[in-house]
Amino acid sequence: MTIDTTDMCSHLRKKLFDEDGDYHHLWMAMQDDAELTAVVRSRQLHIYRNGKKVLVLAGKSAPKIIREDKICDLLKQ
């Protein structure tokens, strides 16, 4: 999965892509899941499964779970 990170919040970028980041394990799991897509909107990462939004990740605020999904379970770890 590739996404355009030019408009992504710098805090979120660090959390996703740095190996010790809070969401890095989530990013790695997203790479292996063909049903997931992601897009950057309003500096946040919106994650979709089969076209339906499941999760919104932001840099400084808490993640917003839109629908229960197995990818959301990784946040609780």
Taking the model in full, what pTM does it have?
0.92
Task: List CB contacts of 56: < 8 A, sequence separation 6 or more.
Answer: 44, 45, 46, 47, 63, 64, 66
Residue 45 pLDDT: 97
Q: What is the pLDDT along the chain (77 residues), one digit of tens a residue?
A: 889 999 999 999 999 999 999 999 999 999 999 999 999 999 999 999 999 999 999 999 999 999 999 999 998 76
